[in-house]
Structures are given as structure tokens and as C-alpha cells.
Chain A
Amino acid sequence: METALDTLVPGPLSLAGHRLGTPQQAGALTMVPISGPAHPGFAPPRTGLKLSRVVGYGQVELSNAAGSGVAIVPLHIGYIQDAAQNHALCRSAFLAPGQRLLFEDACCVQAGQGGYLTERDQWFFVLPAELRDAALRLRGVHGYSKLWADIADLNVRYGLARRGHLEQILSRKRPVLTQFQSRLELQPGQVGALFFVAGRFAGLEIAPDPVYFAEMWTALVCFAYGVAAWHAEPDPPADGAAPYDARSLPELRGALERDRSARLAEVAGWLAEAPAGPVDLQEEDRYVDLRLSTVTAPHLAGQIVTDGDRTVYASLFAR
């Protein structure tokens, strides 16, 4: 499957040394773990990166509280807090140790809710995949309500009230969404993952090291990709499980192994069938030798961080 992974994002994204693991499935969501080289020296997003304050609606300040290590702000990270206007960011960025950075192009994701986020009770999410393309296009655009129409449309598609409240999904459906962090299980040494929803490529996530990825795990599986998977959750088979054609335990083992091989091939087929092609690359930020770039193509978009020809971070989603 490595060949297929390389063809998915040709050119700027070198995934040399990264390997795909055995797929895991939870309902409609398939996660293919990626292991690979760890790049030391990066502050992890939960323990290193902090929301300092919300200056005004649509203006969010983050700080890198880690003693050392540059922080790569995860693409489309957002913060939820009771009785405060929840915000998400439209882009990634670098924060040096001890640095604060004001994102003036953040978006409110909860129409009509007053109050500013503060440093207390921080838990973060990543925007659902369904909103990420719109959010990426709105990077650099000021206007706290700029994503409300897209959120309202998403709510309607999911049978919820037409409101610019992402909270209708993230908080009210939280008990079922958060189960994805247990339904799928992080592998030791995992630095990334491929996500498929109902058999279609949904996203590729690469982190600098396993600690960084582990801190992104919940936000990615529960919110970035879990929302679409929740909506596509298949019904359990009505007729119960079909037995294998096996007359002994050895035959049963053989049948199970053949069936698994077939399913692995099926997932590889999903990846091979994912749209591919050339991508546009636009540099957005740099820190020493690190480059943050926006990737756009007809089939996918997102942002990547490279160090020379090595990919350090990637958050790419299907369009």
C-alpha cells in the first residue's frame, strides 16, 4: 500500500520511511495506522499549545507553553467551553517556545452564544471533515461569522436545526462521537493515519512524532472524521453473522485468514481508487528550516510542514 500512499500526494509530500499498518474499522470509519520516523523537537498540541485568550469574536490567541520545541498549530483546531463562544482556526502556524500568536482570521462556530473563551477547561477538536475545505478557503479572511452558513448547512444535512452552531453536533453528540477514540485504537509508535469513511478516502494525517499524534487522536477520530462516520454508521446485520464454510478448527482458521486477506485487499483498493493528481503548493509560514504550505488540488486540500524534503506534519482531506 506504500506505493498508493505516495501517489496520493505526489511531489511535495515525501513519506519516505512511513509504513501503513493493519486497518482498523469502527462502523463506517476505517483507519489505517501509519508508523514512521519521529522528528524530535516539536511541542505536542495538548500539553504544549494553550489557548491564551479570545481578544474579540474571531480573534484567538494561542501560546506555546512548552519549555522547548516549536509548536505546529494543528490545522482546523478549535476549542469548546461552556458559556463561551467556541472558536476554530482556519489555518496552521508555527509558534516558537514561549511565543504567543493572535489568529485574527479565526471563526466562531457557535452562532448567538456570547462570552469569550478563557484558559480554563480546555479541550480541543478539529473541524469536521465536511467543513474543512470551506474553512481552509477562509484563511486570512476576517469575520467571526464566516463559517456559520456552512455549519448550518451541515446541521441540516444531519437532520439538525439550521443554525450556525457546531455545538449541536460536537457537544450534543459527544457521547457517541467520543466512543470512536476507543472503537479505534492507537498503535504503539503511530505517527499518522489514513481515514476512509464508507469506503471513500477522507483524509491523511501525519504528525512529527507519536506523542504529538497521540494528543491529536481524540480530536481526529472523534470530530474530524468521526462526525461523518457517525452519520454513515451502518445498521448491524439483521440476519446475524454468516458462518464460514469450515468443518474443523484448522479450516476455520484458514477461512478467517483468507477472508482477512480479501478485506485488506479491499482497503488497498480504496486507496488505489482515491483520486490522485498534481497539487498546488503555497508557502504560508516558515520557522528556521521548516516550511508550512497549503496544498490544493481538485481531489484534496490541506496543509503540510516540511523540513527539506521530509514531511514533518500533514493534514490533508478529501474535497
Chain B
Amino acid sequence: MDTPTLLAHLETHDTALTLPRGGTLCWDDADLHRAAHAADPEGYALLGLAPGVRPWQRARVLMQVLAASQAGLDDATRAVLARVAHVLTLALPPAHVITVLLGLRRLRANHKHTTRTVLRFVLEHPDADALIAARRPALLDCFEHALGKASARGCARRIADGDTASDYLRRRLLRFLTAPAAAPARVRALYAPAPPGATAPREPALAVDALRERPATVTATNRGDIAATLVHLYRGGPAEELYVALGRYLDAAALAYPRFEGTVALVLDASASMRGYGEREWAVLSQAAALRMLLGEICDRLEVVEVGGDERAPRGATDLATGVLDALAAGPDLVAVVSDGYENLFPGDLARVVATLPRAGVTTPVVFCHAMFTGSDDLRLRRPAPALPQRGFWHQDDFAELLPWMFGHCAAGAPWLRSALHTRLDALDRRAAELTAEFAAAPR
């Protein structure tokens, strides 16, 4: 399965994994996950961390990574998989993780990397005490599955007798942990009667996706700093001050992304409708311009084909079909059409041109980035080429999901995507380590 299709699946299919009592694990897209993992274990696991992936899909990635054997994988890949798995145990709602761990038990999946991840979740999760109090039978099952029932109970017996660091404990339990000092108390709690009325924490300990600004009323200037600054520039605000701020915001945004070592041809709709009117004037165009500027910062080469007027003077009608043909002439790795979707100069032409590209020998991917005023725009009359991969954006925060989706469509985007997700994993791993350190330092 190609990356954009897999990513789209991960971002949209949020059906829960379920474990009917006495039945088999209900995992409706297991074949897809197994195939993706088999094709590229590291890339697959990293994709689970991509912005916008649904929680139950992240749970499936965790399940697949822990269920699959790592035989034949090199140490570097194993290390990445272990870090992704650990991050996901913290980044998912604890109930999701428990379902995954019980599912692994049902699948009889028990590898060393499985054991390590399960034990770290049961004994080192920042909310471990509350989780054990509220979900003791389930977590005990997970613990005994990870170690084997005899070893688990042997460890528990020794801990009950006061053992904290014997060779037996070290070999069977403590070597899997990063904060072994905290383990004995939790193992004792696993085998003690649960306190009545305890409730399990519902929220993840680690936020994977940044909290989004969600204004009650969307305006032209609460859609991210770059676009807001551009709106003021377009309105005739003080250019010097605004350009300084624009440069600052743009640098900050570009820092979050690796360089794209390829060529993007951007068909930028600069027609009258992109300017908008009334209170929405400049809102849509400013965000499209923000995207163009960001791409200019991170792409080795960016070719811009403006349709209608230009960014500072949007006007006239929208001829996207000619724009795409002009963009293809630049020989890019990817063509991205950025438009509000109102194709009025020969409507239908974009769809026909796109339908003809394969027989014309063109293999360059073309994607449609829908410039919207809000995330709930009605796009029914704004899909000029329904066959094109398309994705909407209205806020600067949307770029975090838009760019991986865009670059995922072209071969030159593969290293970009992997690099971006590695950076993301590094950041999440640091925060996970901080949580573990806080947990280890907490008084018992």
C-alpha cells in the first residue's frame, strides 16, 4: 500500500479494537497493518506518530509492532520500534493500551520487545498506581502474560518476602525496566485486593498532537501568525514592522520541518474568489500564501504558477487546468494545486486534464490542497477534480498534517517524511523520558 493511502486510512478509520469475552480479537484491518509492517517496519511504525492519526489506529500500530517478530531486523530498526512502542503506550488513552495488551495475550504474542513494553506500561506508567487500582485484573493478566505466569508469581512471592534486587528478580523482571526501584510496590499492588471505587485515568499521559487553537469564531486573523500578518500587510498595514514579524513567524514554522530535496510546482489560485469579501477578505488567500512561503523555505526548489492574478492582486477567473500543465512543464517531483475549488473558466477541464495525464505518459503526482475559510466549509460545489487526492486546510496548524500528506505522494518525499517523523519521535521520546524520570523521582 502506498504511503498516502495508508496515511489516509490511519487518519480516518477510527473503529475500536474489541475483545469479546471468550472470543477472538476483533481487528478489522489487521491484514492492512500486517502488510504495511512487513513492507517497511520502521516506516510503518513511524507513520503511527504522524499528526492526525486516529487513536485507535495508533493502538493498531502498537499492536502490530508488539505482535510481530523482530527476527531479521537490525539493531537500529529494533531501537526505533521500541521507542515508538513506548511512546504510544504513553500517548494513547490507557484503556486503549490495555485493550492492545490483552489482545496480545489473546494472540499469544510474547517476544522480548513485547515483554519490555508491557512491563514498562504496567509498572512505570505515570498513572500506574491509579491504573492498577482501577484495572487490577486486566493489568495482572498483562503482567503474567509478559513474564509467564510462573515467573510472574515467583517474582511476586519474592517481593512479598522483601526481595528488591535479587538475581532472580533482576533476570526475570527488573532488567526490562528503567525505574526498577518503583516496581516492587506496584507488583505488590497487582496481587493485593483492589480498593473499591477506584476509577482509571482516561487521558493519555503524553500528548502526541499539539493542542489546536479552536476559536469560537473564525476571523481573517485568528488562523495562525503567518496568515494574520499577511492579512495586515494586504490591508496596507505598516510594511516594515509586519515584514520583520513575518520573517520571524516563517522561520519558526520552517524549523519544524526537514528540507525537501526535490521540486514542488505549486499552482496557486490567485483569482478574485480567493481574495474573498467582507469580513473574510484575504482570509483564504493569506493562508494559501503562508503555505507557499513555508514551502519556499523548506523545498530545494519551488516553482509557483499563479492562476488569475497574483498574490497581492488576486483577480479574474480560475483556469486550473492550464496551471497544472504549466506546472508539469517545470519537471517537478510533485504538483500541488492550492485553490478554493471554484473552477469557473472552463469548469471540468482540470478533471479531464488529470484523467488524461496517465495516457499522456505523465507520472508526476498531482494533489489538490483545498483552501478553506474554516474546517467545516461546504465543499460540495468546490471539487473541480474529484479523482485527485485532496485535503483541506484553513489554519497554519493544518500544515503539520498537510505537508506529510503532500510529500507522501512522491518518491522524493519518502526521505522527507522519514526524517520528519524521526524528528517527531525524538521530541516525543524526550518528553516520555522526562515523564519516566519524574515518575522514578517521585516519593513512594
Contacts and interface: CB of A to CB of B under 8 A. Distances in A.
Given A185-B308, A241-B348, A243-B352, A256 B321 contact: yes
Interface stretch (B86-94, B120-128, B337-345): B337-345
Interface in A97-115: none
Contacts of A248: 360-361
Contacts of B315: 185, 187-188
Q: Which size bracket describes the interface of A in this complex?
A: 35 or more
Interface in B129-188: none
Contacts of A27: 381
A241 B345 contact: no
A242 interface: yes
A241 B347 contact: no
Q: Which size bracket describes the interface of B in this complex?
A: 35 or more
A242 B352 contact: yes
B294 interface: no
Contacts of A247: 359-361
B353 to A, nearest CB: 6
Interface string B373-386: 00000100100011
Given A179-B381, A183-B342, A240-B386, A24 B360 contact: no
B356 interface: yes
B362 interface: yes
B325 A249 contact: yes
A188 B316 contact: yes
A156 interface: no
A185 B347 contact: no
Contacts of A186: 272
Interface in B264-292: 271-273, 276-277
B229 interface: no
Nearest to B321: A256
A175 interface: yes
A40 interface: no
A155 B174 CA distance: 78
Contacts of A249: 325, 328-329, 360-362
> Chain B: interface secondary structure?
loop
Given A24-B344, A249-B325, A251-B360, A243 B355 contact: yes
A191 to B, nearest CB: 15
B385 A241 contact: yes
A285 B212 CA distance: 60
A22 B386 contact: no
A184 to B, nearest CB: 5
Interface in B282-338: 308-309, 315-318, 321-322, 325, 328-329
Interface in A230-261: 236-237, 240-244, 246-249, 251-253, 255-256, 259-260
A111 B163 CA distance: 88
B363 to A, nearest CB: 12
B351 interface: yes
Contacts of A252: 325, 353, 356-357, 360
Interface string A244-284: 10111101110110011001000000000000000000000
A22 B342 contact: no
Contacts of A181: 273, 277
Interface in A145-204: 175-176, 179, 181-188
Which of B273, B317, B349 neighbours the largest number of chain A CB atoms within 10 Å of its CB? B317
A240 B359 contact: no
A88 interface: no
B267 to A, nearest CB: 15
B385 to A, nearest CB: 7
Nearest to B362: A249
Given A24-B344, A251-B360, A185 B353 contact: no
A306 interface: no
B359 A256 contact: no
Contacts of A185: 271-273, 308, 315-318, 342, 344
B227 interface: no
A187 B386 contact: no
B344 A175 contact: no
A282 B347 CA distance: 40
Given A22-B345, A236-B386, A253-B325, A175 B378 contact: yes
Contact of B354 (A24, A25, A175, A241): A241
A26 interface: yes
Contacts of B340: 182
A194 to B, nearest CB: 15
A41 to B, nearest CB: 25
Contacts of A187: 315-317
B346 interface: yes
B353 A256 contact: yes
B275 to A, nearest CB: 10
20 contacts: A22-B345, A26-B342, A176-B381, A179-B381, A183-B273, A187-B316, A187-B317, A241-B348, A241-B351, A241-B354, A241-B355, A242-B352, A246-B359, A247-B359, A248-B361, A251-B360, A252-B360, A255-B356, A256-B349, A259-B352
Closest 7 CB pairs of A and B: A241-B351, A182-B273, A185-B272, A243-B356, A243-B355, A24-B344, A241-B355
Interface of A: 22, 24-27, 175-176, 179, 181-188, 236-237, 240-244, 246-249, 251-253, 255-256, 259-260, 263
Given A25-B346, A188-B315, A260-B346, 14 more contacts: A22-B345, A24-B345, A25-B344, A176-B381, A182-B342, A185-B271, A185-B342, A236-B386, A241-B354, A247-B360, A249-B361, A249-B362, A251-B360, A259-B352
